[in-house]
Amino acid sequence: MAALRVFSRNVPYLRQQFSALLGNTSPSVKFICVVVIIGYILSYSDDVVDVLSVTPGYLLPPSFQLWSTFTFWFLEIHLWEVIIDIVTVGLCGKLIEPLWGQMEMMKFFFFTNTGVAFLTTFYYLVIFSWTQDTSLLFDIHVHGLAGYLAGVSVAVKQIMPDHLLIKTPLGKLTNRSLPLLILIAAIILWAVDALEGTYPCMWGSGTLLSWIYLRFWQRHSSGTRGDMADNFSFDNFFPTVMQPVMRGILNPIHRCLVRVGVCNASPRRVQLALSPRGLTISMPGVEPQDMERRRQIALKALSERLSKTSEQTRQKNLSMKVNMEAVRKSQTPQVIPSFPSEPPLPPTSPPETTLIDITTDTPTTKTS
């Protein structure tokens, strides 16, 4: 009850932050967030947890408690999980819903959560067949939005695969490697008993199911299905060194699923069309808005590189100018010899002028 008192004291602050996050979002996003909060309050009752969560032994016949597949997702027993769920759903409403639409987002939500319930139950059934431990069937309670969070990470990888999250000494962390890294971190935390064993199972199930849906089944406005881009293949979730090995393992499985009819083989066809603006290339599984968005991302990255290059060039020119100024100041100034000017000439007396009077017979000479 102490945690409940702490939560009640922080309700005004949390309400303010959540209202800022969920502002201008759809009613479906707000509904999910409110239901998750209600589920956290109800999780203090063990009976409610037993009824609303998925118990692998009770989901199977003869109990067949199918209603739990629609109720387990909003039941969280940790406050930090509630906060992560609300933040992720809010960001999903800001980023994914404008691209997909509200209906497609809710379809993805229910498909991922329902599939996680059955696939996680299948995992525990397989482990039970090996260990014959009945506690795996009746003492395990699957609940929470871990599977949907994994699906959101896969969707973000599809939309912005090369978006930089953080730089580390080992390399750059992008959206491309986020689902696998979180799965590895969840397994490590489960191994040290810091996280429930259901969390990595749900995360792995959500990653697989959301990728299958987005890769093969999602219907686009152009009438096509899925996303057959090379950077969205399943082996692309793994490091570059492991991709050939994963490709060799997964390609036969994919061919078998195509023959069974689970997924369709969508060949890469390039359609060329002439338009007034030039040649148009359209590819199946690639939406025009996705192409425009990726083009904007590429232009932004190019402009950042050009600005960085111009800044480096400017810094280089500035340093060269500073060095030239330092060299000029370090050189000794050349002394230009000065020669004495010639002394002025002494003043000369005006020349004598002789005047002759020609009016008289006798010439008279006047000197002036």
DSSP H or E run through 40: helix 27-42
DSSP H or E run through 21: helix 11-21
Per-residue H/E/C for 165-202: EEEECCEEEEHHHHHHHHHHHHHHHHHCCCCCCHHHHH
H-state helical runs in 68-101: 79-95, 97-100
The residue ranges of every structural domain in the chain are 9-232, 241-266
**Residue 367 φ then ψ, to 5°:** -110, 130
Task: State how far the alpha carbon of 8 is from the alpha carbons of 1, 56, 210, 225, 252, in Å.
Answer: 11, 34, 36, 46, 54
Identity of the residue numbered 115 = G
Residue 188: per-residue pLDDT? 93
Strands (E), 53-136: none
Q: How many CB atoms lie within 10 A of CB 128?
A: 17
Tell me the two tokens of residue 75: 């039941």
- The pLDDT tens digits for 21-53 are 666 677 888 888 889 999 999 889 888 888 889
8-state DSSP, 220: P
Q: How many CB atoms lie within 10 A of CB 318?
A: 10
Answer for the pair 54, 143: CB distance below 8 angstroms, yes or no.
yes
- Which class does domain 9-232 fall in? mainly alpha
**Residue 282 φ then ψ, to 5°:** -120, 140
Residue 229: per-residue pLDDT? 80
Residue numbers in the chain where pLDDT is lower than 70? 1-8, 10-11, 13-24, 262-297, 300, 322-323, 326-327, 329-368
Between CA 40 and CA 143 the distance in angstroms is: 11
pTM of the complete model: 0.68
Task: State how far the alpha carbon of 33 is from the alpha carbons of 49, 81, 139, 199, in Å.
Answer: 19, 12, 28, 20
Taking alpha carbons only, the member of 25, 128, 155, 149 closest to residue 82 is: 149
Strands 271-275 and 278-282 come out as antiparallel
H-state helical runs in 198-287: 198-212, 243-260
Beta bridge partners, 282, equal 271
Between CA 213 and CA 199 the distance in angstroms is: 21
User: Around 54, how many Cα atoms within 13 Å sit in the side-chain half-sphere?
Assistant: 28
Between CA 59 and CA 143 the distance in angstroms is: 13
Q: How many CB atoms lie within 10 A of CB 116?
A: 33
